[in-house]
Structure 1
Amino acid sequence: MAPAGLPASLPLCVCLLLASGFAQAGRLLVVPMDGSHWFTMRSVVEKLLHRGHEVVVVVPEVSWQLGQSLNFTMKTYSTSHTLEDLDQKFKYYSDTQWKTPEQRILSLVTGSVKGFSKLLFSHCRDLFNDKKLVEYLKQSSFDAVFLDPFELCGLTVAKYLSVPSVMFTRYFYCHYLEEGTQCPSPLSYVPRLFSKLSDTMTFKERVSNFVFYMEERAFCYYLFKSAIDIASEVLQTPVTLEDLFSQVSIWLLRTDFVLDFPKPVMPNIFFIGGLNCQQRKPLSKVCCLSLAHEEGPGFRE
């Protein structure tokens, strides 16, 4: 069973990458994803702060949750959109997801997802338009970039600065996790996420899994196209999502391998399941005494 508190292996994994010596703290650049993604990442950042590492978080001025500062250095940059624009796009996107499956798929193709993702990814261009901030990042000599895969700007920043990156995620819908980690995931044996298939598939189900995979590739390219255009513009060379994901040094997956279908994993992948669980509490003595009473005289601990 995964530990209920912060896994002991998590600080070790990150600190090994950050530390340039046994007695020297590391400098970590954090490029977080807004919303609920930030809540979990923040708990890790707090733990690293308590261990003496220097943390710099780069966030846009317009966000839902990222403005809540803690004891770390926060660098902000202005955006070309307002909070009202962000709320409006997200509301339109969320409303289209509560329709029938056919209407939901149509909404993905006709623009609700693309419109929201394009607005969400546009702040990466705003970041690099802030020349003062970019110069600060270049001169800060960070040891690593801590990021969320849904925030592709973090991958762009890591590649721009030529700094190792640490990926922090529960899962990633698109196929770039397998390609970035070079982990085989044969379609005949490993069903795709959300396909509702098991690892024991008939021939027809294997064909369906392959078709689902091809649709996933087309959708993911469509979804992240604006982010790739921005990354190519910033890096001044054509890049692909495979280029960005293949540079990741460490993958921290907030799950446990027993919860997934069997498949190979690489040495730079660490399972840190239990991070989102509530803090465990000791059993009350009243509970233990009542249990002993029910068992009778023959009860032994």
Structure 2
Amino acid sequence: MRLIYLCSALLLLILLPRTCQGGNILVIPVEGSHWINMDILLQALHSRGHNLTIIRGDKSWYIKDNSTYYSTYTIPVHNSIDKEFILRVVSEMIDFERGAHPLMSFLGSTVGMLGTYLEGHEGVRKVVTTMLDDRELMRKLNDTKFDMVLSDPWWGGGPILAKYLNLPLVYNARWLFGGESHFAIAPSPTSYIPLTGSVCTDKMTFFQRVKNMILHILTQTQKHLVNQIYQKICDKYLGPNNDFNQLLIDADIWLMRADFVFEFPRPTMPNVVYIGGFQCKPAKPLPQHLEEFVQSSGEHGVIIMSLGTFVNELPADMANEIAAAFAKLPQKVIWRYKGSRPDTLGNNTLLVDWMPQNDLLGHPKVKVFVAHGGTNGVQEALYHGVPVVGIPLLFDQYDNLLRLEDRGGAKILTLSTMDKDNNFLTAIQEVLNEPSYRMNMQRLSRLHRDQPITPMDNALFWIEFVMRHKGAAHLKPASLRMSWYSYHSVDVALFLGGAVLLVLLSTFFLIRCLCNAMCKSKVKRE
């Protein structure tokens, strides 16, 4: 009996610290692929004993209302962002990109999408407003005594709610609605830091730098317009002295879904923590039917293709072109595709509604990944060292693929050219037959994995750090609280310029007076 008591006491001592360290986290997520990687982080937090509560809209299609590892508050809002809205945007962009000239594509992805972006943020504004108007919900959130807010800054609700509840804020971030997150908080010279959508590397020609600057101006204009949507909420619920842009950039920690194996080197900040590839992990065994299909490929290996969360089908002519190209290859193909079966589909191609992408990428028989260039897929390919044939569709996808192509690990096709002159088939054959693509991706994989702490453990440490210390104010640079003219020392430059001008003018008038005096003296002597 004493042994039983002793074992029970020992078990209690082991479990007690874990229970005491568990935090209360309020999560403001974003749908689609953003949710996929947020969900992985939430499962890891739950496994460490933290309690998770998620705010979701009633039209959410990825974030389930019932879960074993988080609880939810569902906000009943009509006309907010839903699945149909996102799919409509994707479909319109595919149709536009297929026939677009590069210049028109650039303008379409910046100016042409502005109305759609504003419509999306108006939907988020309705969710946030409905939430803040619900006194019972806000009372519950206050009574729960959360330790922090974990949010994705792609939408603007997270920082507003964190301020309203007076809680520390951590971002699971890579993108803001005004572009890549670094541009909001870190020095970002446009001379060598390409903006999202610029289709440039960090080595730009003069005209590429002109294009990059124009895009920066357009992006800042878009950001200002979106800020005005959320500023109305701040004025109503937080008071007129709360500037939304200041709330947005004032997060304690930015968990950045990138690293400098993937991203171009650039200035950064002390409260930015790099967790690129945190969702990646060693491959698990494939389901039996997939393993049998993969093994049937023999020495030729397998190609896998997926165009991401939002693209389940393609225009019929494009799907037939892709299927016909696959049919000409000796490799087996696994293609995630939910559209109508292409007429030209070969016997070597398997269509699936879903596939274990990470496990397939980690299989030794997979030779090439045909991908749209989403952050998750690109980083999984980098982690496993699989070369990529990229077909970017919208948003950041071209820029993600460009980072791999610049390092010799990918080949990019555009929607407007991929179905011409067998470009798609030629690109796949090039990546299959040129050893440098695989060698470069495997080199990047070795660099990415060679870290003292895994990206996931790094993310978990800093989330728990914020909960332990009630924030991380000591890591926030003073620049976040400075006006633009102070930050760029415009006032100092004007002051020094004025001082120099004053000295020059004083010197000029002094010399002039001396000259006049000397001339008068000379006239008197004569």
Shorter-chain TM-score above 0.5: yes
Q: Tell me whether 145-154 or 268-277 shows the greater mean CA deviation.
A: 268-277
**Residue in structure 1 matched with residue 140 of structure 2 by the alignment:** 136
Q: Does 1:97 align with 2:101?
A: no
Change (3 A) 1:140 1:238: same
Q: 1:218 and 2:215 equivalent? A: no
2:188 counterpart of 1:188: no
Alignment of 1:100-139 (within 5 A): 100=100, 101=105, 107-109=112-114, 111-139=115-143
Cα contact 2:27–2:55 (8 A) shared by 1: yes
The range that moved more, 269-278 or 246-255, is 269-278
- Distance across 1 between alignment mates of 2:23 and 2:207: 52
Distance 1:150 1:192 in 2: 16
* Larger Rg, first or second structure (1 or 2): 2
Q: TM-score with structure 2 length normalisation?
A: 0.45
From the two aligned structures, give the one with the greater helix fraction: 2
Does 2:240 correspond to 1:237?
A: yes
| Structure 1: gaps (5+ residues) | 1-20, 288-301
Change (3 A) 1:193 1:176: closer
1:26 aligns with 2:23: yes
1:148 deviation in Å?
0.5
| Aligned with residue 73 of structure 1, among 66, 71, 74 | 71
Assess if the C-alpha contact under 8 Å between 1:92 and 1:112 holds in 2: no
**Paired position in structure 2 for 1:57:** 54
Which residue in 2 is equivalent to 1:11? none
Q: What does residue range 142-181 of structure 1 map to in structure 2 within 5 Å?
A: 142-172=146-176, 174=178, 177-178=181-182, 180-181=184-185
Give per-residue Cα distances to partners, 1:41-77, cap 9 Å, x unaligned.
1111111111111211122223222234222222223
How far apart in 2 are the matches of 1:254 and 1:266? 15
Structure 2, gaps ≥5 residues long: 1-17, 286-294, 296-526
Q: Is the 8 A contact 2:174 2:180 kept in 1?
A: no
Distance 1:92 1:79 in 2: 20
Query: 1-side partners of 2:71 and 2:147: how far apart?
Result: 16
CA contact (8 A) 2:259 2:275 kept: yes
User: 1 or 2 for the larger relative contact order (CA 8 Å, sep ≥6)?
Assistant: 1
Cα distance in structure 2, aligned partners of 1:247 and 1:155:
8
Equivalent residue of 1:38, what SS?
helix
- Distance (Å, rounded) in 2 between the aligned partners of 1:212 and 1:104: 10
- With over 3 angstroms needed to count, the CA separation of the structure-2 counterparts of 1:173 and 1:63, relative to structure 1, is closer
Per-residue deviation, 1:260: 1.4
Q: Is the 8 A contact 2:24 2:147 kept in 1?
A: yes
Per-residue deviation, residues 73-114 of structure 1 (Å, max 9, x unmatched): 2222321437xx8355445433432313255656434x3332
Verify the 8 A CA contact 1:28 1:53 in the aligned structure 2.
yes
Q: C-alpha separation between the residues in 2 aligned to 1:151 and 1:103?
A: 21
Task: Return the alpha-carbon distance in structure 2 between the equivalents of residues 248 and 105 of structure 1.
Answer: 27
Give the whole-Å Cα distance in 1 for the aligned partners of 2:255 and 2:111. Answer: 34
- Number of corresponding residues: 263
TM superposition shift of 1:206: 2.1
The structure 2 residue matched to 1:46, chosen from 43, 52, 55, is: 43
**In structure 2, C-alpha distance between the alignment counterparts of 1:107 and 1:92, rounded to whole Å:** 15
Query: What is the DSSP-based 3-state SS (H/G/I as helix, E as strand, rest coil) of the residue aligned with 1:122?
Result: helix
Separation of aligned partners in 2, 1:52 and 1:112: 40
Inter-partner Cα distance in structure 1 for 2:220 and 2:88: 24
Over the residues paired in the alignment, what is the CA RMSD in angstroms? Answer: 3.1
Is the alpha carbon distance of 1:139 and 1:179 closer, same or farther for their aligned partners in structure 2, counting shifts above 3 Å? farther
Displacement of 1:35 in angstroms is 2.4
Contact 1:31 1:58 in 2 (8 A): yes
Q: Deviations over 1:6-37 (max 9, x none)?
A: xxxxxxxxxxxxxxx99532111111112232
Q: Is the 8 A contact 2:110 2:218 kept in 1?
A: no
Cα distance in 1 for partners of 2:179, 2:117 equals 18
The residue identity in structure 2 corresponding to 1:73 is S
SS in 1 for 2:278: coil
Q: Decide which moves more: 210-219 or 68-77.
A: 68-77
Query: Residue 26 of structure 2 aligns to a residue in which SS?
Result: strand
Report the alpha carbon displacement of residue 136 of structure 1 after superposing the two structures with TM: 1.3
**How many percent of aligned residue pairs carry the same amino acid?**
27
Structure 2 partner of 1:292:
none
In the TM superposition, residue 209 of structure 1 has moved relative to its aligned partner by 1.6
Is 1:254–2:263 an aligned residue pair?
A: no
Contact map agreement 1:188 1:201 (CA 8 A) in 2: yes
Distance of 1:38 and 1:22 partners within structure 2: 27
The aligned amino acid for 2:190 is L
Residue 117 (structure 1) shift = 3.0
**Residue 166 of structure 1: CA displacement?**
0.8
TM-score by length of 1: 0.76
